[in-house]
Amino acid sequence: MGDFRGQVVVTDRGILAINAILLHIYKMNQMKHITLYFTMLLVAAGQLLWAQSPADYPANYANGPRFKALVFYTRHAEEAHVDFALQAVEFFKKLNYGNGFTLDVTTHLSDYPYEKLKEYDVVVMLDGYPSSQAEREAFEQYMENGGGWMGFHVAAYNDKHTHWPWFVDFLGGGVFYCNNWPPQPVLVEVDNPDHPITRNLPASFVVPASEWYQWMPSPRQNKDVEVLLSISEKNYPLGIKDVVNSGDFPVVWTHTKYRMIYLNMGHGDEEFTDATQNLLFINAFRWVLSTNKQGDPFRK
């Protein structure tokens, strides 16, 4: 646990408990009892530490894991996508320092039918998506019943060969259209500075190199989609080998009928080198969780 600062309210019950323990220790001369009573002292001290604090106390300490998160990735993907996924797994593990939540990592979505999937407050997909019919049905049921999803880059890839209409609708209606090559940094612009995901980000900033997917039609055309971040037109022409010259280019958005966020980032081993983009990822993760109809886990 980090530094504990602030005024703690000491209850009468806590003071009496410590006084009683100290009196017992004083009276006991047998060393075999010292360990027992010292343990009791620590328990009583802990009770004081977690005693009710003033209403305006700024911190909220968890007594156990706040939520459950499932992170999925596959090694059967493009090398650069796997590189990102492996770094992303470590990123989420660092977010779980101190066991603030239950984190499970899997490379097999087939192990998670709906009855098991629904135990999780959020599912994070790093470099893949449900492929079998059973996996797709489980994911659809999970999302239609209030599940949370955070998807990166290729986790949203779909084209004429995908044959999954529900998924296209879920993403806002866009199908993969084109991309730049090779991966490169871009200037992005915040579309909604008041959203919880973007309100502490600069109005525009440069993000690390990635391969950027453009979609057709643009998700922005869907009235149920809220675009949060887009590639600035100042980047055009974008690319060296494969060049994108124009077009609407959202890279972070949510379909408001679902508890979900999609981020186009996720190619290569440079994605976690920038503090602003890391903050974007954390904000997105927290937001999906905080909008759970079962309650905001960060307020518990």
Per-residue pLDDT, 273: 98
Per-residue pLDDT, 248: 98
What CA–CA distance (Å, rounded) separates 51 from 54?
Answer: 10
Q: How confident is the model at residue 54 (pLDDT cuts 50, 70, 90)?
A: confident
pLDDT in tens, 253-273: 999 999 999 999 999 999 999
Q: Which of 252, 150, 143, 75 is nearest to 135 (CA)?
A: 143
Per-residue pLDDT, 19: 55
Q: Cβ–Cβ contacts within 10 Å for residue 203, how many?
A: 8
Region of 248 on the Ramachandran plot (φ > 0 left; ψ -120 to 50 alpha; else beta): beta
Per-residue pLDDT, 35: 53
Per-residue pLDDT, 9: 44
Per-residue pLDDT, 132: 97
pLDDT in tens, 85-97: 999 999 999 999 9
Structure-model confidence comparison of residues 134 and 53, the more confident one: 134
Q: How confident is the model at residue 220 (pLDDT cuts 50, 70, 90)?
A: very high
Cβ atoms of 263 and 281 within 8 Å: the answer is yes
Average pLDDT over residues 169-176: 97
Whether the pLDDT of residue 39 is over 60: the answer is: no
Q: Which of 238, 248, 184, 194 is nearest to 218 (CA)?
A: 248
Whether the pLDDT of residue 3 is over 60: the answer is: no
Cβ atoms of 43 and 116 within 8 Å: the answer is no
User: CB under 8 Å to 244, separation ≥6 — which residues?
Assistant: 178, 179, 180, 212, 214, 236, 237, 238
Structure-model confidence comparison of residues 280 and 29, the more confident one: 280
Measured at the CA of 52, the angle between CA 50 and CA 53, to 5 degrees, comes to 95
Per-residue pLDDT, 122: 98
Whether the pLDDT of residue 99 is over 60: the answer is: yes
Q: How confident is the model at residue 55 (pLDDT cuts 50, 70, 90)?
A: confident
Per-residue pLDDT, 300: 84
Region of 229 on the Ramachandran plot (φ > 0 left; ψ -120 to 50 alpha; else beta): beta
Q: How confident is the model at residue 52 (pLDDT cuts 50, 70, 90)?
A: low
Q: Indicate the average pLDDT of the chain.
A: 89
- Please confirm whether the linkage preceding 130 is cis (ω < 30° from 0): no
Q: How confident is the model at residue 56 (pLDDT cuts 50, 70, 90)?
A: confident
Residue type present at position 91: F
Per-residue pLDDT, 11: 46
What CA–CA distance (Å, rounded) separates 225 from 265?
Answer: 18
The beta strand positions in the chain, using DSSP E, are 68-72, 102-106, 122-125, 148-152, 175-179, 184-190, 204-210, 213-216, 225-231, 250-255, 259-263
Per-residue pLDDT, 23: 54
Polymer length of the chain: 300
What CA–CA distance (Å, rounded) separates 90 from 94?
Answer: 6
pLDDT in tens, 112-145: 999 999 999 999 999 999 999 999 999 999 999 9
